Amino acid sequence: TKPSLETTHYVKTHFKNLGLETHTVPFKTLLSYPLRASVSLHFDNGTVINLPLNEIGISSYAPSGLVQPYHAYSPSGTTQGDAVFVNNGTEDDYRALEVMGVNVSGCIVIVKKGGSLSRGAAVQIAEKKGALGVLMYAEGDVSRGSFGFGVERGTVMRGVGDPLTPGWAGVEDGERLELEDNKILDRFPGIPSLPLPFESAQVILESLGGPEAPQKWRDSSRSKLSRVGPGQVMVNFTYQGEKKLATIHDVFAVIRGSVERDRYVLLGNHRDAWTYGAVDPNSGTAALLDIARRYALLMRKGWNPRRTIIFCSWDAEEFGMIGSTEWVEQNLVNLGAKAVAYLNVDCAVQGPGFFAGATPQLDDLIFEVTKKVKDPDSDVATIYDKWTTMNRISYVRRHGVHLSKC
């Protein structure tokens, strides 16, 4: 898209103006875009309610090009059925419904996004249970004034990287699988899904009949949840999207090492965002660009790193880490032999305090560095001090286990 190309140019120009060795690597990949969507509720008395799907109340400053809420790689479709609330949509949640005598086959399931279950996995489980479609919402902390009509966009594709080039880089004239290939179809859901604003999901939840929701579900929900369905309301759900090949651009800046030039330390973050991306990824991009600026200042004073540093600005991360995956696939042998570590600054700033996630090999380094860096909110404390004070322990989260995507 035009905004994506503008960010590519911005980052590339910033690196070049610092005097850094800069280059861009394009890939041709399959991306997914929304065309139109609608959700309506149909009651036994003939009442019909069309639910709002977009953010409400931000039109005064929202650009006309703001992408409508959608799930990337959701199939197009129109479906109608009873609504059933399935909590987070885990296997345990469906078992709880079965105990209550609730069968979701032929229904539209309402999923509250939460826990460790990804969007794609939640849709996959719903499809396996016979659901016709999935409507998903995130609550946020509405009790503290969070925006009830905010919508969490995301991807429902299984796996990472360009779906048409699994295991190899999606270069311009390279080999690609056909979209109808079973290997490709297996990565996409077979039923449509759509994200909802919390306020719109609330309208559905308040209308449900059927058995009472388990107390545990009600206690963990900020909505006015009473029953799980089915009954009293029928949902009509339409989504139409398109999948098309598009060129994405990764941007790199390189500082050559003075001793181990063939050993790489990579610092990266993605540029693309579903909407404004204030935290994800722009706080990370700001950090990445300023770190590069500070290194450039040191180089002007004669400093050079021992090992080569590569700054990586990835494209199409939100679709399924596509930009980074394609570049790694293109450079797999070289990276396997020469890469020392990768440091990710996605969502660099998100609220007070400090947290870190890493593989175990970097734990000691994180402790050492945080003990040397001053806490900007204190005259005497370090980042390590704040970290241990807020958490009562210096705890490094494990990627893929405790560290959730923001």
pTM: 0.92
Q: What distance in Å separates the CA atoms of residue 52 and residue 50, rounded to the nearest whole number?
A: 7
* Mean pLDDT confidence for 79-87: 97
261 & 202 share domain: no
- The residue-averaged pLDDT of 349-370 equals 90
Query: 85 and 48, same structural domain?
Result: yes
Same domain, 226 and 249: no
Last-in-domain residue among 200, 220, 241: 241
Which of 139, 317, 318, 326 is the catalytic position? 317
Domain count of the fold of the chain: 2
Cβ(168)–Cβ(329) under 8 Å? yes
Same domain, 111 and 236: yes
Judge whether 299 and 292 are in contact, CB under 8 Å. no
Q: Which amino acid is at 291?
A: I
Which pLDDT tens digit goes with each residue over 130-168?
A: 999 999 999 865 555 556 678 999 999 999 999 999 999
Give 65's pLDDT tier (boundaries 50, 70, 90): low
Q: What are phi and psi of 26, to 5 degrees?
A: -90, 150
Helix (H, G, I), strand (E, B) or coil at 248: strand
Residue 13 and residue 45 in one domain:
no
For 166-181, letters b (16+ CB in 10 Å) and e give: beebbbeeeebeeeee
Q: Do 42 and 338 contact (CB within 8 A), yes or no?
A: no
Q: Does residue 402 belong to any structural domain of this protein?
A: no
> Which structural domain, as residue segments, surrounds residue 172?
31-241
Give 208-259 pLDDT, tens digit per residue: 999 999 999 998 887 788 999 998 899 999 999 999 999 999 999 999 999 9
CA distance 196 to 40: 12
Q: Quick one: 229 and 284 in the same domain? A: no
pLDDT value at residue 64? 58
Domain membership of residue 403 (yes or no) is no
**Residue 199 is among the residues annotated as catalytic for this protein:** no
Is 8 found in the same domain as 148? Answer: no
Alpha helices in 242-396 (DSSP H): 282-300, 322-330, 332-338, 363-370, 383-391
Model pLDDT for residues 282-294, shown as the tens digit of each residue:
999 999 999 999 9
